[in-house]
Structure 1
């Protein structure tokens, strides 16, 4: 494939509208038209109903791989957007940096639970259509033996691949306590392992940086999204799931705290009123007792007699 176009370009966006979404076959690749960026042909592939019909997966794919020279390798930087057609500000964006070659000529762009995507109130599917956008900001050949250029933000982690540096300490601790995680690299490609451990690191980072009081509706949605993506990795996550579920159950924590504080304040007001009533009652009881004693004393001061007792009807 000979394309007369510069190998490196800046910001070229492709929008793909998928019509009749509800009629798409499950576990089948639905492929966009090819488009050329950076001198290479690409397409976007969508798989509906992955993992027992639960998820939608979208990948970026190098098209017509057979026409590329032996040993080809490309480094690409792109931004993926799942367009929200109702609330544009809620469109979901992801930045991806990846290496493509003959052994792995695709990259994960998006994973989402179908029930969430197809919920009309979320705005991602409108009139049975969804829209995705891919914007490649860098496409460059890196040679047959070159590695993806390292930057200050990434580091090699346990021969698993390039991982964001800030995630590495969290992953090291996780692997120390759960060594079964390392089994992943024996069963999957390097690209998949990099993605899986990055997804794990992001969930761990979220849990580390958030407090219970931070778990509002927005935070819960963010964690739910990160967790759904991580579940796709099929790592052994039984040790992590209870903590994630517990955090998700804290939805509306701030509102619950406010309600508790209001109830405490109401209780203090009622207790104050009750104490005043008790004081008044005690005073009334004391008055009753004093009056009772005065009555007894008053009754002791005279002897009741019939008035007619002193009336004489007959002369002696």
Structure 2
């Protein structure tokens, strides 16, 4: 493991080599590795966690069954699938989460399509072996105010999937052109991703209650809340109707469920989110309609082609008839079976 440290953060990398990937079917844990004085491990679903054709990867808080009451670690982390042919082509997603006894794993349900991983030309699997890397920046939270703990207990419900309550927090890189390192102050409330701030400024000016309802929270809680709101706003602002495939539909569902836990008044935003979520059905219907339109157009073109061919054939027939009439002028048909004969 590579190790870098600052006064309040620990950054380390752990590499997990997985052999016989094609033979794996159920979830798989890596060995434990220690960062920030605590054991961690990587959790992988090689066939997807309640999703088809996707690789799911999460960071797990190690010995979760024996975590003490009140234990928590805030971590910014990256999960990467290493490209064994070209190291510059590795697939990386990053996010952040406060791990605790109730929410002890966090990561990406839709990390990467399986067909891309299994394609030999991509370089992610060589000799049926792949490598996953975890890079973690860990901050130990000092009882960050009992107000914050009460807020989380009373208002924040973990966003979980159906298998072992594995939470999915989509990568900021999927939602924003800025990384977690590009932060700026938002109205003195906390540091928020730079791309989200103009969007937050706009909606908070129109809906002052967004700020009012968070003013009694801790700085950390407020940052999480407005980061969650910013992710949804940025999604709606940057995604187009044509982009709404299954992966983005699931992504927006997760972002919206996460945002709802912070108890904003979102009556103004919900119709837009539901409309975006409805785009999946719309896109499916649009694809069906387009297929039928293409079928009609193809048949019309075929009919047009056949009509053109018939017209050309009719012209050829008329020409052939005229040529026959000319050839028959002065021509007397004879019995071809008759004798030629002769006079004696």
TM-score under structure 2 length normalisation: 0.47
Q: Match of 1:53, SS?
A: coil
SS at match of 1:233: helix
Larger Rg over CA atoms: 1
Aligned 8 A contact 1:35 1:42 in 2: yes
Judging changes above 3 Å, is the alpha-carbon distance between structure 1 residues 234 and 140 closer, same or farther for their aligned structure 2 residues? Answer: closer
Whole-Å separation in 2 of the counterparts to 1:82 and 1:103: 27
- Larger mean CA deviation between 45-54 and 97-106 belongs to 45-54
Query: In 2, are the aligned partners of 1:73 and 1:142 still within 8 Å (CA)?
Result: no
The answer as to 2:42 corresponding to 1:44 is yes
CA–CA separation in structure 1 for the residues paired with 2:254 and 2:73 = 24
Secondary structure at 2:125 match in 1: coil
Q: What secondary structure, in the 3-state scheme, does the structure 2 residue paired with 1:50 have?
A: coil
What is the aligned length?
205
1:233 maps to which of 233, 241, 254 = 254
> Could you tell which deviates more after superposition, 6-15 or 61-70?
6-15
Do 1:85 and 1:125's aligned partners in 2 also have CA atoms closer than 8 Å? yes
What is the correspondence of 1:1-316 to structure 2 with a 5 Å cutoff?
9-25=9-25, 28-47=26-45, 48-109=47-108, 111=110, 112-143=112-143, 145=145, 147=148, 152=184, 164=193, 166-167=195-196, 200-201=232-233, 203-207=235-239, 227=248, 230=251, 233=254, 237-241=276-280
Unpaired runs of at least 5, structure 1 = 1-5, 156-161, 177-189, 209-219, 246-316
CA contact under 8 A between 1:167 and 1:205: conserved in structure 2? no
SS of the aligned residue for 2:80 comes to strand
Contact 2:77 2:95 in 1 (8 A): yes
TM-score scaled to structure 1, two decimals? 0.50
1:253-299 deviations in whole A, cap 9, x for unaligned? Answer: xxxxxxxxxxxxxxxxxxxxxxxxxxxxxxxxxxxxxxxxxxxxxxx
Unaligned runs of 5+ in 2: 1-5, 150-182, 207-220, 257-273, 285-344
CA pair 196-141 structure 1, distance change in 2 beyond 3 A = closer
1:106 to partner: Cα distance: 1.1
Equivalent-residue separation in structure 2 for 1:225 and 1:83 (angstroms): 25
Check the 8 A contact 1:75/1:142 in 2, yes or no: no
139 and 53 in structure 1: CA distance in 2 versus 1, 3 angstrom threshold? same
The answer (yes or no) to whether the contact 2:193–2:227 under 8 Å persists in 1 is no
